[in-house]
Amino acid sequence: MQSRLLSITQSNYIPWKGYFDMIHQVDEFVLFDDVQYTDRDWRNRNRIKTASGSHWITIPIEKKNYRSKKINEIKVIYAQRWTEKHWRSIEHNYSRSPYFKKYASCFQRIYESLEMDCPFLSQVNERFITTISALLGIQTKISRSSDFELIEGKSERLLAICLQAKATHYLSGPAAKAYLDEDLFKRNGIKILWMDYSDYVEYPQLYPPFEHAVSILDLIFNTGPRACNFMKSFQKIT
């Protein structure tokens, strides 16, 4: 039987490089968006580098009953003109980066299209994730957990998706070690692998000290076509 590697992770706003490293390693990446939204997390915010340190950029969301809603039920508030503010902040802090001009129009177009195309947070996140994956040459199939028949239970739900996707291996983030039932997966013929986010190589950043845990935009604008050199799952290129 041919091996098939799957990962299931909540969507984040313009994630860091490790997120895309995980996408690149698997045959199918499932956006786990029909689970409960978590506040003050990476779902609707991320960090960029500035001259005064790392700075949060946050998508405003509708707060009514949001703690009881799933990620794909969270609506974005566009009246606050956050798309313009985020793009201006990115432009201000990265305009002197070596590859900003090369990629600026791509991301500016995304921001300009969001209000028309993406009323929900999960749609915004997916737009950035799929665009950046393509930009990095990642060919992994990206799907949504809502495309699968789901059952209750943290481990049981993840296992059900793996089985429906005909996965033989499941790549999980290290935080899931606290709850994932490895024996359940083993009994069902699924081997669990753990993502390793350690030992990333530093790359040129405009503003010291170096910070790994920022949006992948930082890596793209500073290293351009060489971005994959600094992501562990990619074969090194020159």
Task: List, for residues 169-179, the tens digit of each pLDDT value.
Answer: 999 999 999 99
| Predicted confidence (pLDDT) per residue in 64-122, tens digit | 999 999 999 999 999 999 999 999 999 999 999 999 999 999 999 999 999 999 999 99
Are 172 and 195 in contact by the 8 Å Cβ rule? The answer is yes
Contact in structure between 128 and 63 (CB atoms under 8 Å): no
Closest by alpha carbon to 57, among 83, 28, 22?
83
Instruction: Say if residue 238's pLDDT is above 50.
Output: no
Rg (CA), the chain: 18
Q: What are the residues facing 76 on neighbouring strands?
A: 61
Summary mean pLDDT of the chain: 96
Predicted confidence (pLDDT) per residue in 12-24, tens digit: 999 999 999 999 9
User: How many residues make up the chain in this entry?
Assistant: 238
Largest CA distance in the chain: 53
Beta bridge partners of residue 54, listed in sequence order: 49
